[in-house]
Chain A
């Protein structure tokens, strides 16, 4: 008799847990899809321009690393519909395109050995001005961002930190709504 009761209880619990998990999955799906639609409706695409070293004598590896890390970090934010490389032919047809221009303002070359020996000196420091512009040249967003490596890691890690900070600044800044395409406005 006891065994029968136990089996019954276990069965009820199993059924309840199945129903509950099904319901929660449904609600999660509905939430993500609806929020996703709203998000996509107002999203821009972005083209990352080549890093401008300005008047600073920047190691070419640093310029390339900033550019590549920016592409990675901007894609991670999911703020943009598409992230294009500089010169990508696919970006030409996009009506909702912003161009990210990065100009290096200050660069302090550090030394990993000095950091390892002294801890307090040898930091690699980067300071850039990031601008999000429309293809017509109108600046939508402008930020001055730093990227440093002070303790652990190689010098190129500063470029990763910088790109992450730029992406973070863009993610937390309000952007205007992209203008609808001609075909969309006709509908």
Chain B
């Protein structure tokens, strides 16, 4: 009876150990790095066109915006002067949806407009470029994500205060 119980416990221990080892190895590979968040760059980030979608991630030495195509743009955390949050309520679907709403008869477009909106967070990052010129980059994120990124960015280490 005892032997069979031990045999049952062993696979559990092995699983637990492997999970611990795997998570430890993950942290060892990327200390301080944060998983990317899918964002829309509204404006202001150098070398990135307005309204471009991509992944925003916090690296050890900076903030990186990577589009699905083309090179990534990165700013150093030392150059960041201010990070602030905001919120945005937008109609979804863009121009096709707006045209569809306008074409819907009997005021149906207004009813659609009442339900076809979504709340987003905005993340505004003010940073200085290599010439010292101020940039104000605005990103649109899903609700709740901007605060996570702001908290990670405003850690003392992120601003180069490594005392």
List the interface of chain A (C-beta within 8 A of B). Answer: 50, 59-65, 67-69, 84-90, 111-113, 116-118, 152, 154-156
- Report if B5 contacts A (CB, 8 A): no
Mask: chain B, 103-139; 1 = CB below 8 Å from A; 0 = not: 0000001100110110000101010110111111110
Residues on A with C-beta less than 8 A from B135 are: 68, 85
Residues on A with C-beta less than 8 A from B91 are: 112-113, 116, 154
User: With the chains together, A94 CA to B88 CA distance in Å?
Assistant: 39
User: Which of A87, A117, A155: most chain B CB closer than 10 A?
Assistant: A117
Known: A65-B136, A68-B44, A112-B91. A88 touches B110 (CB 8 A): no
Residues on A with C-beta less than 8 A from B113 are: 113, 116-117
Residue of A nearest to B113 (CB): A116
- Report if B84 contacts A (CB, 8 A): yes
User: With the chains together, A88 CA to B137 CA distance in Å?
Assistant: 17
Known: A111-B89, A112-B89. A88 touches B122 (CB 8 A): no
Q: List 6 A-B contacts (CB under 8 A).
A: A61-B88, A63-B136, A64-B136, A89-B132, A111-B89, A116-B117
- Report if B86 contacts A (CB, 8 A): yes
B132→A87 contact, CB < 8 A: yes
Which of B43, B85, B109, B132 lies in contact with A68, CB distance below 8 A? B43
Known: A61-B122, A117-B114, A152-B98. A68 touches B136 (CB 8 A): yes
B86→A116 contact, CB < 8 A: no
A128 to chain B, nearest CB (A): 16
A116→B101 contact, CB < 8 A: yes
List the interface of chain B (C-beta within 8 A of A). Answer: 42-44, 82, 84-86, 88-91, 98, 101, 109-110, 113-114, 116-117, 122, 124, 126, 128-129, 131-138
Which of A50, A111, A113 lies in contact with B134, CB distance below 8 A? A50
Which of B42, B109, B122, B126 lies in contact with A59, CB distance below 8 A? B122
A113→B114 contact, CB < 8 A: yes
Chain B interface main SS type: strand
A55 to chain B, nearest CB (A): 18
**10 pairs of A and B residues whose beta carbons are closest in the complex:** A64-B136, A85-B133, A116-B113, A60-B84, A88-B133, A86-B134, A61-B122, A60-B124, A113-B117, A59-B86
Which of A59, A90, A112 lies in contact with B131, CB distance below 8 A? A90
Which of B86, B89, B110, B124 lies in contact with A117, CB distance below 8 A? B110
Residues on B with C-beta less than 8 A from A88 are: 131-133
Residue of B nearest to A118 (CB): B110
Q: A59-B122, A84-B133, A88-B133 are in contact. List 10 more A-B contacts (CB 8 A).
A: A61-B124, A64-B44, A65-B44, A65-B138, A67-B136, A85-B131, A85-B133, A112-B89, A112-B90, A116-B114
User: Which of A61, A85, A113: most chain B CB closer than 10 A?
Assistant: A61
Residues on B with C-beta less than 8 A from A63 are: 124, 136
User: Which of B82, B86, B129: most chain A CB closer than 10 A?
Assistant: B86
B138→A87 contact, CB < 8 A: no
